[in-house]
Structure 1
Amino acid sequence: MKFAETNRLCRKKFKRLTGMSRRNFYLIVNIIKEYEKKKNKLGRPCRLIPEDQVLIAIQYWREYRTYFHIGCEWGVSESMVCRTVHKVENLLIKSGKLSLPGQKELRKLSDPDTVLVIDVMESPIERPKKGQKGFYSGKQKEHTLKTQVIIDLKTKKIMCLRHGKGRMHDFKLFQKSQVKLAKTIKLLADKGYQGIVKIHELSEIPIRKPRGKNYSEEQRKYNRELGRIRVAVENVNRCLKIFKILSYPYRNRRYKFGLRSHLIAGIYNNDLGSKA
């Protein structure tokens, strides 16, 4: 569906199709238009208008079909779809308009009312030819890439991401990421983060079941309340996985996975509170 048809859709249908608001869509289009104005006028002009170029890239992230199938739909070659997707991705990264706050911003946080929630999202990948053992997730029973997500509980904004292989333990990934927080910031995590209190004192994790005993009523109540709060980060993971490139088996070069997940997280952040 080309831009002329897509633009006729109502707000809800547009977001269902693209995974983002119109405001976010036009932000990306303007980045492409700025590039088209600045670049040299030599050579053959692109057959696709900036809006259609962005739609092709979005369609690839959102549906994760092959370049061949997308090319057949748009009446262009497979290689042109590939070049268009890479072009849009590279321009968005260079622009910095979809960048995440990152660990520098995390270090600056000091408000005692700030609560952060951490979780790990797993994305399946095709079985690697080499080093399969390192990517095999015992939890998912398949080869995966892990993405550590830290969000601000109040705003639901993604603060930073960190990636690791499927075999790496969630807590090990946290240690490797070297996230540093002010002592006044509260951090909520799941049972996989046993020992996190030694690194960040103001951390809360569910109480483990005592060996050979049952939970007390108070322990059940505490775990239930913590789980009710922590579900916010699960909802964020679900929003990211609307883009099937993060939920379907990842077929591309693994070094590109981080770039794409950061872009999608930036799109999610930019859409918070948006109705356009």
Structure 2
Amino acid sequence: MAGVITASEPSWMSPFTGLSPRQFSKLVAVLRRKEADTVRRGRPWGLPLEDRLLLVVAYWRTNLTLRQLAPLFGVSKSAADRIINHLGPRLALQPRQRFRKDTVLIVDGTLVPTRDHTIAEQSKNYRYSTNHQVVIDADSRLVVVIGRPLPGNRNDCKAWAESGAKAAVGLTTTIAAGGYPGTGLVMPHRRRKGEALLDWKEAHNTSHKQVRARVEHTFARMKTWKILRDCRLKGDGVHHAMLGIARLHNLVLAG
């Protein structure tokens, strides 16, 4: 069965990946170096690596069911499932290991509605969700760390440590919203009851809010990937999707 969508037609790349054909080819080359295209035991892949990559990214972008997506690539539903499970983890963003001394990071948590109730809990959006701690570089706006998903009812100050994001960042200066008390992060000044903030504190809060908005803009871009609005993947699937989408987001920003 012939597929409708194929990476051999460059016009399909940008709508699903946001990447240019040149960037897409570079990503394929990286995956090949990581042995994502090695011959495996059992049934061989029905699609070349380029088409398998496009299938995974199209699934994240559109959140179509596998029954809807598979015919578009000319494969069976089970084959599409195997492709996503095999290639999705290999697209994961690798956390940055070192930071310059003058680096400033921004962290915030975002909720991803997730149907796997073994890892999700009802959260403030009244849906079963997972909490993801996302850390970006304040200067470049690139995503540098994403913590492991936690139940959506976990508050951010606990999720910061429990997700592994705190350990990954180390002592690097990190800006956060007011929901991270006791974490040592740089937060806005709070007004005590019956007192007004000093002018310099008001000015600092204004600057803090403007810089912190960059992580909100990152969330807005990442949430254009529809799988992050209603994730049907089980187990580590939502984590792999977040990491893969963050990597593609970085590639687009880096040009």
Alignment TM class, shorter chain as reference: 0.7 to 0.9
Q: Which runs of structure 2 are paired with 1:1-276 in the superposition (5 Å)?
A: 1-3=4-6, 6-8=9-11, 14-30=13-29, 35=35, 38-39=38-39, 45-92=44-91, 98-101=93-96, 105=97, 108-109=98-99, 111=101, 113-126=102-115, 128=117, 135-138=121-124, 140-162=125-147, 163-176=149-162, 177=164, 178-179=166-167, 181-182=170-171, 185-197=172-184, 203-213=185-195, 218-246=200-228, 248-274=229-255
SS at match of 2:246: helix
Q: Within 2, Cα distance between the matches of 1:266 and 1:100?
A: 10
Report Cα offsets for 1:151-192 as digits up to 9, x if no partner.
11112222211121111110011132343533xx42211010
Whether the 8 Å contact between 2:104 and 2:173 is mirrored in structure 1 is yes
Larger Rg: 1
Task: Structure 2 unaligned segments of length 5 or more: list them.
Answer: none
Matched length: 247
Q: Within 1, Cα distance between the matches of 2:99 and 2:46?
A: 47
Whether the 8 Å contact between 1:100 and 1:266 is mirrored in structure 2 is no
Read off the aligned partner of 2:205 and give its amino acid letter: N
Report Cα offsets for 1:110-140 as digits up to 9, x if no partner.
51x2211111111112373x687xx1213x2
Change (3 A) 1:69 1:170: same
Change (3 A) 1:73 1:165: same
Whether the 8 Å contact between 1:126 and 1:143 is mirrored in structure 2 is yes
Change (3 A) 1:47 1:109: closer
Whether the 8 Å contact between 1:190 and 1:205 is mirrored in structure 2 is yes
Change (3 A) 1:4 1:169: closer
Whether the 8 Å contact between 2:17 and 2:248 is mirrored in structure 1 is no
Read off the aligned partner of 2:248 and give its amino acid letter: I
Query: 1:74: how far off?
Result: 3.2
Q: Within 2, Cα distance between the matches of 1:71 and 1:110?
A: 44
Change (3 A) 1:150 1:45: closer
Q: Percent identity, please.
A: 24
Aligned-residue Cα RMSD (Å) equals 2.9
Q: Within 1, Cα distance between the matches of 2:216 and 2:119?
A: 29
User: Structure 1 length as normaliser, TM-score?
Assistant: 0.76
Whether the 8 Å contact between 1:19 and 1:242 is mirrored in structure 2 is no
